[in-house]
Each structure stands twice: as C-alpha cells, then as structure tokens.
C-alpha cells in the first residue's frame, strides 16, 4: 500500500521560507564586511534591517547609505528582491489556486468567472518574475540616465539606478541618500519613474497580467481587476489633493517650493504613502491632520497579490459596498455588475477586525514603553503594519522592546493577509447540525 505524502499547507510553507530568509539575512548583516563599524554590529540592528528589507517596508534605525558597506547594501537589495518576489508569487498562486479550487500542483486558473487555465505553478512564477524584472529594467534605465546627468559617475549611477528601481517596484522605500529623496523634491525625472514603479508594483500581478492580455477589452476584466484599478485611481487623486492642499503653506514641507514642485511633491508623497515609503519632504514636519490622514492611506495599502501592504484596496471597497447595500436595504451585495459571494463578506470583516486589533494593541504597547505622543506612535505602528516605511523620525529613538514590536508588526503586516486568506479560503468541516438563528440588536 502506497504511503500518503504530506503536502505542507501554503501558510506554513510561506512562514518557513520567510523565517529562513530572515535568519540568513540577519546573519549576513552581522558580518564585519557588511558594516563600516569595526567588528560588525549587534543582533537587533541587523534583525530590524533584515526584517524591514524582507518585508519591503523601509523603516530603518541606522542610515542605509553611510552605515552599510557596498556588501551590506547588496544584502539589503537581495532581501528586498526576495521579499517582493516571494510575497507576490505566493499571493498570486494562492489567489489563482483558491479561485480555481485546484491544488498548487495542478494547473492553475485565472481569477476570472470563466476559470481559464494559465498553466502550471512554474508558468505563474515565471510570469511574476518576468513582469517584475521588465518593470525594474525600464525604471533602472530611466534612473541611471538621470543620475549620470546629475554628475554621478557611470558605476555609481548604475548602482543608484539599480538599487532604487528594485526598491521602488517592490514598494520597499529604502534609499541610498541620507535624506531619502528630499534632495530630489522638484526633480520630475527622478520622481515620476519612482512613482510609476511604486504604482505598478502595488497593483498586483493578477491585475498586470490581465491588463497585458485584455487591456483593450475592459468587459473581460475581473471584479478584482476593476476594484483595484478603480480604487487605486480614486485614492491616488484624492490623496494627492489632500496632502498637497494640507501642506501647501507649511514652511517646513511644501511651503517654500514653486507651484509645479509643490504639485510633484504632494503627488509623490501621496503615492509613496500607500505603501512604498520614499519621502521627498520631511515627514516629521507635516501637520498633525496630514499625518492622521496618511495613517488611513497606509492602513488601506495597495492591491492584493502585489508588493503593497495594508489591508488592501479590495477589502476596503468590498466593505463599502456591503455597507452601501445594507443602507439601501438590499439583500444581495452587487459590485460593478456582479453579485458578491457571501463568504467574501466574512473574509473582509475578519481581515479588518484582525488588522485593527493588531494596530491597537501595538500602539498601546509602544505608548507604554516610550515617551512619544499618540500621533507619532500611531503613525509608526501603521507604517510598520502597512509595510510602508514612512517615519516621523522616532524609529531610531525607540527602546529595544518597542523596536521588537515594530519587527513583529512588519512580519504580521507582510505575511498576515496571506496566511489569513489561506485559512479563510480553506473549507472547514461541515457541521452535521446547525444552531437556531437569533438576531441581536445592532447599532
């Protein structure tokens, strides 16, 4: 009798692979060749940096440009690429596998109602890899050309172009300049490629894949593609207007800039706030209402099965349509001409409540261990959970316990949505009997 082979669950496979990569990255960053400090560095800075890079977050407690040697920067870049590609791949496979109700070893199906086959697991992985490398290549060439015109040497321009192309597409936010991107606040030839890469990475591979196939036939687009594109466009416009208007006269951010540079800087910050974490103005000098609004943008994040973080645009829009249908007294939730599956209602609510619980608990813990204000701590917590990487400047000043909380937040923010989605998508046992229904008073 043949033995039954045990197939590891997707969530367990993701977690084991992630922890192994994190361990290797931390050890490499602790080696003396990785840092300018003689004898290497302690465990916590290495672990924090490796986690931030692998979770494509961008929060730092030491300056990337001056603290790490070229070898250390290469390790960080490799972790960013592994983190972005790995999460994008596993999330894509999960999405295709669940919608097609097939095992990961079987032929996967697209997330369309027709469930058209796209090949096996290797085809999906190669598709993600080709898409990512193509976008990174275009951005790399654009940035390298600009750095050359700014007076950097050929070799340095190539390295700067490569590092920031990978960091932007993977929504990591790591930069090789002490002020991040503040010195390029009015440079359209730097800002636009970084924004384009960030947006494309945040859309997710399923959306990019469908746009490549059916760009001229919007009627073929899936509900997921329509929600991501509509939500991304709406949030981009609204957040750009909000941040630009709120900081227009702030003498420490947009105030001194010419009108065209104000528009560029406001739009750039709106794009990066969704998940990437680059900053072209001093985030810590922004008005409190601006920071609070950015908390919401970071919490929402980008599209699923991409390099973005947050609870995802689709989750927020699904909850909006559920609430809208309830207000209008509808029994079914219709989204863009399609009826929403009732199981998705529970999934969206579960993700929202779990995310809120994590953010609330972490904020309370750090407030208890530090002397910083609620606004600063909440911004840092949401940035870590949303794998954004923006900071008001308090990260390095936090004690070790608070930094460990941020490390846990980055891991939960990066792996949490995928593992929760895996658990929710896996059908459980059916009960032989059901309990009687009863309705409590709501509201």
In contact, 98 and 104? CB cutoff 8 Å: no
CB atoms within 10 A of CB 382: 26
- Residues (pLDDT < 70) of the chain are 1-14, 87-122, 124, 417-432, 437, 439, 441-443
CA 91 vs CA 211, 249, 266: distances in Å: 18, 42, 31
Q: pLDDT tens-digit profile of 33-91?
A: 999 988 778 899 999 999 999 999 999 999 999 999 999 999 999 999 988 877 666 66
Q: pLDDT at position 427, please?
A: 54
Look-up of token digits 């790591």: 174
Q: pLDDT at position 113, please?
A: 29
Look-up of token digits 């046992």: 429
Q: pLDDT at position 128, please?
A: 77
Distance CA(283)–CA(281), nearest Å, equals: 6
Q: pLDDT at position 169, please?
A: 93
* Residues constituting the chain: 443
Q: What is the pTM of this model?
A: 0.86
- Non-local CB neighbours of 368 within 8 Å, separated by 6+ positions: none
Distance CA(128)–CA(212), nearest Å, equals: 12
CA 411 vs CA 105, 183, 305, 342, 408: distances in Å: 27, 31, 16, 29, 5
Q: pLDDT at position 399, please?
A: 94
φ, ψ of residue 334 in degrees (nearest 5): -105, 130
Q: pLDDT tens-digit profile of 170-214?
A: 999 999 999 999 999 999 999 999 999 999 998 888 888 888 888
Q: What is the 3-state secondary structure (H, E, C) of the chain?
A: CCCCCCCCCHHHHHHHHHHHHHHHHHHHHHCHHHECCCCCCCHHHHHHHHHHHHCCCCCCCCCHHHHECHHHHHHHHHHHHHHHHHHHHHHHHHHHHHHHCCCCCCCEECCCCCCCEEECHHHHHHHHHHHHHHHHHHHHHHHHHHHHHCCCCHHHHHHHHHHHHHHHHCCCCCCCCCCCCHHHCCCHHHHHHHHHHHHHHHHCHHHHHHHHHHCCCHHHCCHHHHHHHHHHHHHHHHHHHHHHHHCCCCCCCCCCCCHHHHHHHHHHHHHHHCCCCCCCCCHHHCCHHHHHHHHHHHHHCCCCCCCCCCCCHHHHHHHHHHHHHHHCCCCCCEECCEECCHHHHHHHHHHHHHHHHHHHHHHHHHHHHCCCCHHHHHHHHHHHHCCCCCCCCCCCCCCHHHHHHHHHHHHHHHHHHHHHHHHHHCCCCCCCCCCCCCCCCCC
φ, ψ of residue 44 in degrees (nearest 5): -60, -50
Distance CA(301)–CA(253), nearest Å, equals: 23
């Amino acid at each position: 009798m043949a033995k039954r082979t045990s197939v590891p669950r997707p969530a367990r496979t993701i977690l084991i692979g992630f922890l192994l990569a994190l361990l290797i990255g931390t050890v490499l960053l602790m080696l003396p060749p990785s840092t300018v400090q003689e004898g290497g560095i302690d465990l916590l800075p290495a672990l924090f940096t490796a986690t931030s890079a692998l979770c494509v977050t961008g929060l730092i407690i030491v300056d990337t440009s001056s603290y790490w040697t070229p070898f250390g920067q290469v390790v960080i870049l490799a972790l960013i690429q592994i983190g972005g590609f790995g999460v994008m791949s596993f999330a894509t496979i999960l999405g295709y596998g669940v919608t097609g109700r097939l095992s990961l070893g079987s032929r996967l199906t697209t997330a369309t109602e027709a469930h058209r086959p796209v090949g096996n697991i290797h085809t999906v992985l190669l598709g993600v890899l080709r898409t990512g490398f193509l976008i990174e290549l275009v951005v790399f060439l654009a940035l390298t050309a600009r750095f050359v015109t700014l007076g950097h040497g050929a070799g340095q321009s190539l390295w700067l172009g490569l590092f920031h192309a990978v960091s932007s597409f993977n929504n990591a936010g790591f930069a090789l300049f002490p002020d991040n991107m503040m010195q390029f606040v009015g440079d359209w030839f730097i800002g636009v490629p970084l924004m384009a890469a960030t947006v494309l990475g945040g859309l997710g591979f399923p959306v990019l894949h469908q746009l490549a196939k059916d760009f001229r036939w919007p009627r073929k687009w899936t509900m997921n593609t329509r929600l991501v594109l509509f939500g991304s466009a709406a949030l981009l416009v609204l957040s750009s207007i909000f941040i630009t208007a709120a900081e227009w006269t702030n003498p420490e951010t947009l105030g001194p800039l010419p009108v065209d540079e104000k528009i560029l800087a406001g739009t750039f910050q709106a794009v990066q706030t969704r998940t990437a974490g680059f900053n072209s103005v001093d985030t810590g000098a922004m008005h409190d209402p601006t920071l609070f609004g950015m908390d919401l943008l970071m919490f929402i994040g980008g599209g699923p099965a991409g390099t973005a973080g947050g609870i995802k645009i689709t989750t927020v829009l699904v909850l909006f349509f559920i609430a809208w249908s309830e207000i209008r007294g509808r029994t079914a939730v219709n989204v863009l001409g399609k009826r929403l599956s009732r199981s998705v209602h529970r999934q969206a609510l579960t993700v929202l409540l779990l995310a809120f619980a994590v953010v609330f608990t972490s904020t309370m813990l750090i407030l208890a261990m530090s002397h910083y204000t609620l606004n600063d701590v909440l911004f840092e917590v949401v940035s870590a959970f949303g794998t954004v990487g923006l900071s008001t400047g308090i990260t390095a000043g936090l004690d070790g316990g608070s930094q460990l909380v941020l490390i846990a937040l980055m891991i939960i923010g990066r792996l949490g949505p995928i593992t929760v989605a895996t658990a929710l998508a896996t059908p459980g046992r059916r009960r032989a009997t059901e309990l009687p229904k009863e309705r409590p008073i709501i509201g």
